[in-house]
Amino acid sequence: MEAIQIKGIKKSFGETKAVDGVDLTVESGEIFSLLGPNGAGKSTTISMICGLLTPDEGDAAIDGHSIRKETVAAQKVLGVVPQDIALYQDLSARQNLMFWGRMVGLKDGLLKQRVDEVLALIELTDRQHDECGKYSGGMKRRLNIGVALLHQPRVLILDEPTVGIDPQSRRKILDSVTLLRDQGTTILYTTHYMEEAQELSDRIAIMDEGKIIACGTQSELVQLVGEQDHIRLIVDRVDEQYMQQIRKKVNGSVITTDHEHTIEVVGPNANAILPGLISLSLEGDVKISSVEIQEANLEMVFLHLTGKALRDE
């Protein structure tokens, strides 16, 4: 059964078509990632699924409840972890959870039990009495996730929960997301980190400029680039003329992800392309310090479909 079904949702802000006709189905019990660069429309999509923003067109159903027509029933099923942290900084983790727990109707023994369970899951039991204002960014994010879990939602939505936090907290968040899925929770997870989508997801939708440009399992998505190879060159300088010449030689995409030292080439048969790249570098006086041939990954799928890099470094 579908946990989330999105049909034809659209949202514009003035001239910006933030979400431009999205259809998606998240199956019950899976981790589904929405992968896309900054500005793709991920958060706007999430806000409409949660009923925080009204779509210009279309609708979303959570466990069969229309978010437009049966908002309360739909929201009951949902736990949402927004991109921005919503916590009382001068309260402890425990006090925050007790407060939010009461807000969702928990009380007495059950409230205490859920707060203890959630603290254990987000691994903050030993810091539960410290003021949140003193927590690291990663601990605050974990507590934010904890708040969304108090009422044991069947469907959990996390919007870029690991941006800007320490690797240890990131690891804990990824592990608890997998654990929740294994316990039966359906997860919709947005990210612009390819590695996270690859590690976590049962299925992935790639989003760009308000549209879903591909959707499937990782291996289905990687097949979209077909038999193409991915070559990464590290050079002493990224020279536009050099890039132009490679483009003429390679029947594929050529981009730079950092405008300084990295050139990415996607094309058929790396072994046939490489000698050309090297002789062009000699002609153009560009020094290559490293050549790497990589297996197809989601970064490459994005590059193949859009001609752009997914990463924002």
Ligand X SMILES: Nc1ncnc2c1ncn2[C@@H]1O[C@H](COP(=O)(O)OP(=O)(O)O)[C@@H](O)[C@H]1O
Least separation, in Å, of the C-beta of 232 and Mg ion?
Answer: 27
**Could you tell me how many residues of this chain bind ligand X (CB under 6 A)?**
11
Pairing of strands 203-208, 57-62: unpaired
Reduced to 3 states (helix: H, G, I; strand: E, B; else coil), residue 273 is helix
Out of 5, 44, 201, 228, the residue judged to bind ligand X by CB under 6 A:
44
Q: Which residue type, as a one-letter code, is found at position 2?
A: E
Nearest-10 Cα torsion for 238, 241, 246, 247: 110
Q: Is 253 in the site for ligand X (CB under 6 A)?
A: no
DSSP codes of every residue in 24-61: EEEETT-EEEEE--TTSSHHHHHHHHTTSS--SEEEEE
Please tell me whether residue 13 binds ligand X under the rule CB under 6 A: yes
38 binds, among ligand X, Mg ion, none (CB under 5 to 8 A by kind): ligand X
Does residue 55 touch ligand X according to CB under 6 A? no
Shortest approach of ligand X to residue 16 CB, angstroms?
A: 5
Of the pair 44, 128, the CB lying nearest ligand X is at 44
Q: Does residue 92 belong to the site contacting ligand X (CB under 6 A)?
A: no
191 binds Mg ion (CB under 5 A): no
Give the span between the Cα atoms of 185 and 201, in whole angstroms: 13
Q: Is 54 in the site for ligand X (CB under 6 A)?
A: no
Q: How far is the CB of 18 from ligand X (least distance, A)?
A: 3
Amino acid at the residue 64:
G
Select from 16, 198, 256, 294 the one that contacts ligand X (CB under 6 A).
16
- Give exposure, 140-172, as e/b (b: 16+ Cβ within 10 Å): bbbbbbbbbbbbebbbbbbbbbbeebeeebbeb
Task: Give yes or no for residue 306 binding ligand X (CB under 6 A).
Answer: no
Given the complex with ligand X, which of 22 and 115 has the nearer CB atom? Answer: 22
Instruction: Using alpha carbons, select from 124, 135, 195, 192 the residue that is nearest to residue 163.
Output: 192
Q: Is residue 128 within the footprint of ligand X (CB under 6 A)?
A: no
Q: Is 43 in the site for ligand X (CB under 6 A)?
A: yes
Span 40-69, contacts to Mg ion by CB under 5 A:
42-43
- Tell me the backbone φ, ψ of residue 307, rounded to 5 degrees: 70, 10
Q: Compute φ and ψ for 277, nearest 5 degrees.
A: -65, -40
Binding site for ligand X (CB under 6 A): 13, 16, 18, 36, 38-44
Binding site for Mg ion (CB under 5 A): 42-43
